[in-house]
């Protein structure tokens, strides 16, 4: 499984993550081209090679015009979802910003909808978060693992005043994850860096057994003497055997809500990290036709999704039960066809059987562009994989 390891010996920030992605192999031109799909005005990003204690690192310098706008989560989600980015990229970026908003809401004891971002709502933060989601997609990452995070110590200046390190929002985001202060004073993990890492990484441990393909270094702004202030990425393959995992299924039956709202709830569920969300037509009490809304999630996310259901739907109650899921190890392989490059999802079973599924949206676009039937493009992608 294609895995990205975050080696956070010097912490992490949004620009360090962007720099590390380019250093690891992301084409900066492709990254910028996709960022332009956001439709944001007056921004620029340059990638510079710098020295960090003898290690050649990539520094991502994001430049934007000064803004007086304090955006809410809904404003940022609107920018993301109205863009022409891939749906999977939109959902990952939206999830990261949702986690930031939830952390700020808990710190300030305010509803998420009322939280307005300061630093993390600026254009450079949107570039950092969306750029990270784009970079992960360009590298074809299937799983993410992080080391314990070095957070630093001391005090730092923020929009609301002077706060201890790690700042309250960072401490909230890193709940349940291993952290340590280190021996150098200062802030090493920013809210953006913490939100990105905790949104994609399910494991926090030392470097796992993996076959390293490439290593990259994203430079931090500071350059203290004798300390490499950089985030290291290790990109490679790890072998993961199929195993059962315990998940939660949250369900509720609804017969008095507009069908339009169900689509909104599903979108919000996926943005918050649902593993699956689907609707089932059902017959309810008094012979009323209804809809069963089901959300599959990890055990630690139960309260978050219950809160979503009670806030966004007309339900008065929801049931929760454990389910076992076994998923095959999978990877994404890009193949070349006469219709262009197509990504193919490949899953392998224990008996050696290989399940190959070309990406539908890419096949659909290629079929529309060339005027051939969709199934011809799909079959060409399958053949290209098996002949490669």
* Residue 286, token pair as written in the block: 């008094």
Of 204, 237, 270, which residue sits at a domain end? 237
Range of the domain at 306: 244-326
Of 237, 261, 281, which residue sits at a domain end? 237
CATH of the domain at 346: 3.10.20.300
- pLDDT value of position 70: 73
- pLDDT value of position 349: 63
- pLDDT value of position 158: 66
- pLDDT value of position 333: 83
- pLDDT value of position 110: 80
- pLDDT value of position 388: 67
Identify the three-state secondary structure at position 335: strand
For residues 222 and 287, membership in a common domain is answered with: no
- Counting as low any pLDDT under 70, the low residues of the chain are 67-69, 115-121, 158-161, 240-243, 349-353, 388
The overall pTM is greater than 0.75: no
* Residue 245, token pair as written in the block: 């995992």
Name the helix (H) or strand (E) containing 281: strand 276-283
Let me know the angle formed at the C-alpha of 74 by 247 and 62, rounded to the nearest 5 degrees. 95
CA distance 24 to 207: 17
For residues 122 and 259, membership in a common domain is answered with: no
Of 188, 205, 237, which residue sits at a domain end? 237
- pLDDT value of position 242: 58
For residues 110 and 222, membership in a common domain is answered with: yes
CB 11 within 8 A of CB 152: yes
């Amino acid at each position: 499984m294609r895995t990205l390891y975050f080696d956070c010996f010097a912490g992490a920030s949004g620009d360090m993550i962007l720099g590390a992605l380019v250093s690891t192999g992301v084409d900066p031109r492709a990254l910028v081209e996709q960022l332009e799909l956001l439709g944001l005005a007056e921004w620029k990003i340059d990638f510079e090679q710098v020295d960090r204690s003898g290690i050649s690192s990539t520094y991502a310098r994001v430049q934007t015009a000064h803004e007086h706008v304090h955006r809410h989560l809904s404003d940022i989600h609107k920018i993301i979802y109205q863009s022409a980015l891939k749906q999977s990229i939109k959902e990952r970026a939206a999830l990261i910003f949702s986690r930031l908003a939830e952390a700020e809401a808990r710190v300030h004891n305010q509803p998420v909808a009322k939280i307005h971002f300061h630093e993390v709502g600026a254009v450079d933060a949107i570039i950092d978060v969306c750029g990270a989601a784009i970079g992960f997609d360009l590298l074809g990452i299937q799983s993410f693992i992080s080391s314990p995070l070095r957070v630093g110590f001391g005090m730092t200046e923020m929009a609301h005043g002077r706060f201890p390190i790690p700042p309250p929002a960072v401490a909230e985001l890193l709940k349940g994850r291993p952290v340590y202060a280190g021996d150098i004073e200062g802030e090493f993990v920013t809210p953006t860096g913490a939100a990105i890492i905790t949104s994609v990484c399910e494991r926090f441990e030392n470097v796992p057994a993996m076959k390293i393909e490439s290593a990259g270094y994203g430079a931090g702004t500071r350059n203290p003497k004798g300390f490499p202030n950089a985030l290291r990425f290790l990109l490679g393959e790890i072998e993961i055997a199929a195993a059962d995992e315990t998940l939660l299924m949250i369900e509720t039956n609804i017969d008095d809500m507009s069908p339009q709202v169900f689509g909104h709830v599903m979108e919000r569920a996926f943005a918050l990290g649902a593993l699956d969300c689907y609707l089932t037509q059902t017959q309810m009490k008094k012979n009323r036709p209804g809809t069963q809304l089901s959300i599959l999630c990890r055990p630690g996310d139960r309260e978050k999704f219950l809160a979503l259901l009670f806030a966004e739907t007309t339900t008065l109650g929801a049931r929760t039960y454990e389910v076992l899921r076994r998923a095959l190890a999978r990877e994404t392989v890009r193949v070349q066809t006469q219709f262009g490059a197509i990504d193919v999802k490949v899953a392998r079973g224990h008996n050696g059987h290989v399940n190959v599924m070309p990406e539908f949206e890419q096949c659909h676009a290629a079929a529309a562009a060339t005027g051939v039937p969709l199934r011809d493009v799909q079959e060409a992608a399958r053949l290209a994989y098996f002949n490669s």
